[in-house]
Chain A
Amino acid sequence: MKYLIMIWHNPKSREIWESFSDAERAEGWRAYAELDESLAASGEMVISEALADPSQGRRVPAAEGQSLATDGPFPETKEQLAGFFLVDCESFERAMEIAARVPEAGLGLVEVRPILAMNGPDM
C-alpha cells in the first residue's frame, strides 16, 4: 500500500526553525537525510520532495464568480504543505512508524494519508 506522509508548517513552526542555531538546523537536515537513506535501503521509498515557500506558489484563477475556496488564497491559510514522502509499505502502522521519524512529527505537524489503489475488488 502507498501512503503520503505530509509535513505541514505554520508560522509558529517557522519561527522555531528560524530560531535554531546552525548546529540545530544541521541536525534537522541530518534526520531527513537519514530517513531518505533508510527508506531507499528498505525498498519502501517511492519519492520525497520539499516544496518551495508558499509565497512562490501560484493559484489557478477560478472562473468569474465560481471560486469555491473557503479559506482564502493559499498563502493566507495557517498550515502550509512544506514537503512530503510517498512510501510503499506493508501497513498503515508501518507508515506511521516512518512518519514519526520526520523531525516535525514531534510538533504534531505530520499527517499520513492512504493513497487510493488502482485495484478494485470483485463486486
Chain B
Amino acid sequence: MTEVESLLREHAPHVLTALVRHHGGFETCEDAVQEALLAAATQWPVDGVPANPRGWLIRVASRRRVELWRNEVARRRREESVMLLEPPGTEPPSAVDDTLTLLFLCCHPALTTASQVALTLRAVGGLTTGEIARAFLVPEATIGQRISRAKQRIKASGAEFRLPSPGERPARLAAVLRVLYLIFNEGYTASSGPALHRVELTTEAIRLARQLQAQLPGDGEVAGLLALMLLTDARRPARTRADGGLVPLAEQDRTLWNGAAIAEGVGLVMAALAVTEIGPYQLQAAIAAVHDEATRAEDTDWRQILGLYDLLDRLAPGPMVTLNRIVAVAMVYGPAAGLAQLERAAAEPALAGHHRVHAVRAHLLDLAGDRAAAREQYRLAAQRTLSLPERRYLESKAAG
C-alpha cells in the first residue's frame, strides 16, 4: 500500500461521516466521497499531499455532493416539478467522528453478507470498487452493483444514520464482528492466485478491528476478535510454502511467526478474559494463543486447548468446533479416543459426508499408525473439498 493509499483509507470514513452529518443522504454522500478519493488518488501523487488532507477531501466531496444534489433536484423538477428542497449549506462540514455509526450502517441486517462486506470495505475502509473486486476475484461491475444495491436497500429499509438502540445493539455488533472476520478470513486463507491483493484484506480487517476496539475498549468480544486476527495472522509467513502449498501447524517453522503480533494478541485476550463476559471470539483467540505460545509443536498444551474447546462447544457449538475439539481429544487421550468420538459426530446431519470428517479421520488414523486406512480417507477428503490448496495438500497426504 502506498503512503497516499493508506492516508486515504485512514481519512475515508471520517470524511463520509462528516458529509452525512452535514448533508444527510448516505447514498449520495458515499458516491461523493468515493469520487473525492479517486480524485485524490490521482492528484496527490503528482501535486503532493495537501497540508490538511481530511479538509481537502471533505471540501472536494462536499462540492461533489452539492453537485449530485443539484442534479437530483433538477431531475426531480423535470419529472414532477417538486417544491424547492432545502438547499444544503455550502460551508465545509465539520469532522465529527461517527465511524462506529457508519460501520453499523454498512453491516445493516437488510443487506446480504456479500453487500455488507463490499460496502464496509468501500465506505469504512476507503477501498475503491476496483480494489475490492481484485481482492474478491470478481469483475468490478459485480462489486459496483453490490454496493449500489446495498445503498438502495438501506434507503428502502428506512435505516437512519444513528447508533442502534441498546436493545438492537448486541445483534448489530455481532453482525459487524462477523463481517470483519469474513474480510479477515478471505485474505488470510488466500494462498495462491493474486495473493497480494487478498493479503491486503487481512491488513484491512485488522485495521478496522483496531479502530472498533479503540471505540469500544470495554467490549470483550471486540477485543477477542482483534486478538484472534492478530494471533492467526502472526502465523501467516509460515503457513504456505513458496509454491502456495499449505504447511500444517505442526510442521510450520515457528521462527517465522510474528512475535510482536503474538504478544499483542495474547495481551488483548488475557485482559478481555479477565474482566469481561466470555464469548466465542475470546475463546477462539485463547486457543490461538495457546498454539502460538508453544515454541515447538510438541510443547503445545493440548489439555488447555481441549478445555477451551469444551467451553466453546457449550457457548457456540458448530460442526467445525466439534471436529477441532475431537482433534484435541486425540492429542490428549490418544487417537483411539478421538476416532471413537469422531464416529459419533460423523453421524450428525451437519457433518455427514463433510470432507473435513474424512480429513480428521485420516489424520487420526495416521496418528494411530494405520497408514493404508489414512490414505483412503485423505483421498476421499481430497475428492470432496471445495478448496484448491486444501485439495493439493490432501492429495499429497494420500500419496505420501
Interface residues of A, Cβ cutoff 8 Å to B: 1, 40-47, 88, 90, 114, 116-123
- Bound Cα distance from A90 to B186, whole angstroms: 14
* Chain B residues whose C-beta falls within 8 Å of the C-beta of A121 in the assembled complex: 189, 387, 390
Q: From A45, which residue of chain B is reached at the shortest CB distance?
A: B142
B239:A46 contact, CB within 8 angstroms: no
A90:B114 contact, CB within 8 angstroms: yes
Partner of B138, one of A40, A88, A120, A123: A88
Q: From B232, which residue of chain A is reached at the shortest CB distance?
A: A122
- Bound Cα distance from A117 to B143, whole angstroms: 18
- Bound Cα distance from A45 to B113, whole angstroms: 16
5 A-B residue contacts at CB 8 Å?
Answer: A47-B139, A90-B114, A116-B385, A118-B137, A118-B190
Separation in Å of the A119 CB from the closest CB of chain B?
Answer: 4
A90:B113 contact, CB within 8 angstroms: yes
| CB contact under 8 A between A123 and B191, given known A43-B115, A47-B139 | no
How extensive is the interface on chain B, given as a class? 35 or more
B190:A119 contact, CB within 8 angstroms: yes
B248 within 8 Å of A (CB atoms): yes
Partner of B192, one of A40, A41, A118, A122: A118
| CB contact under 8 A between A46 and B190, given known A118-B389, A119-B387, A123-B246 | no
| CB contact under 8 A between A88 and B142, given known A43-B115, A118-B193, A119-B186 | yes
Q: From B147, which residue of chain A is reached at the shortest CB distance?
A: A43
Q: From B192, which residue of chain A is reached at the shortest CB distance?
A: A118
Flag B121-153 by CB within 8 Å of A: 1 or 0 each.
Answer: 000000000000000111101110110010000
* Chain A residues whose C-beta falls within 8 Å of the C-beta of B389 in the assembled complex: 118-120
* Chain B residues whose C-beta falls within 8 Å of the C-beta of A114 in the assembled complex: 386
Partner of B390, one of A43, A44, A90, A120: A120
B391 within 8 Å of A (CB atoms): yes
B388 within 8 Å of A (CB atoms): yes
| CB contact under 8 A between A40 and B387, given known A119-B189, A119-B190, A120-B246 | no
A116:B391 contact, CB within 8 angstroms: yes
- Bound Cα distance from A90 to B393, whole angstroms: 26
Q: From B143, which residue of chain A is reached at the shortest CB distance?
A: A43
Kindly count the residue-residue contacts between A and B in the assembled complex, taking CB atoms under 8 Å apart. Answer: 77
B112 within 8 Å of A (CB atoms): yes
B149:A116 contact, CB within 8 angstroms: no
- Bound Cα distance from A42 to B145, whole angstroms: 7
Separation in Å of the B381 CB from the closest CB of chain A?
Answer: 11
B142:A123 contact, CB within 8 angstroms: no
* Chain B residues whose C-beta falls within 8 Å of the C-beta of A47 in the assembled complex: 139
B249 within 8 Å of A (CB atoms): yes
- Which one of B142, B235, B388 has the highest number of Cβ atoms from chain A below 10 Å of its Cβ? B142
- Bound Cα distance from A88 to B239, whole angstroms: 27
Separation in Å of the A69 CB from the closest CB of chain B?
Answer: 22
A119:B191 contact, CB within 8 angstroms: yes
B114:A117 contact, CB within 8 angstroms: no
Partner of B191, one of A41, A90, A120: A120
Separation in Å of the A121 CB from the closest CB of chain B?
Answer: 6
* Chain A residues whose C-beta falls within 8 Å of the C-beta of B143 in the assembled complex: 43
* Chain B residues whose C-beta falls within 8 Å of the C-beta of A88 in the assembled complex: 114, 136, 138, 142
- Bound Cα distance from A122 to B327, whole angstroms: 13
- Bound Cα distance from A43 to B119, whole angstroms: 13
| CB contact under 8 A between A122 and B249, given known A42-B149, A45-B142 | yes
B190:A40 contact, CB within 8 angstroms: no
Q: From A44, which residue of chain B is reached at the shortest CB distance?
A: B142
- Bound Cα distance from A123 to B248, whole angstroms: 4
* Chain B residues whose C-beta falls within 8 Å of the C-beta of A90 in the assembled complex: 112-114
B141:A40 contact, CB within 8 angstroms: yes
Q: From B250, which residue of chain A is reached at the shortest CB distance?
A: A123
Partner of A117, one of B112, B235, B247, B387: B387
Flag B222-265 by CB within 8 Å of A: 1 or 0 each.
Answer: 00000000001001000110000011110000000000000000
Known: A119-B191, A123-B390. 15 other contacts (CB 8 A): A1-B386, A43-B115, A45-B141, A116-B386, A117-B388, A118-B137, A118-B190, A118-B191, A118-B388, A119-B186, A119-B389, A120-B189, A120-B388, A121-B390, A122-B249
* Chain B residues whose C-beta falls within 8 Å of the C-beta of A116 in the assembled complex: 385-388, 391
Q: From B363, which residue of chain A is reached at the shortest CB distance?
A: A123
* Chain B residues whose C-beta falls within 8 Å of the C-beta of A122 in the assembled complex: 189, 232, 235, 239, 249
A46:B387 contact, CB within 8 angstroms: no
* Chain B residues whose C-beta falls within 8 Å of the C-beta of A41 in the assembled complex: 145, 149
* Chain B residues whose C-beta falls within 8 Å of the C-beta of A118 in the assembled complex: 137, 190-193, 387-389
**Interface members, chain B 152-206 (any A CB < 8 Å):** 185-186, 189-193
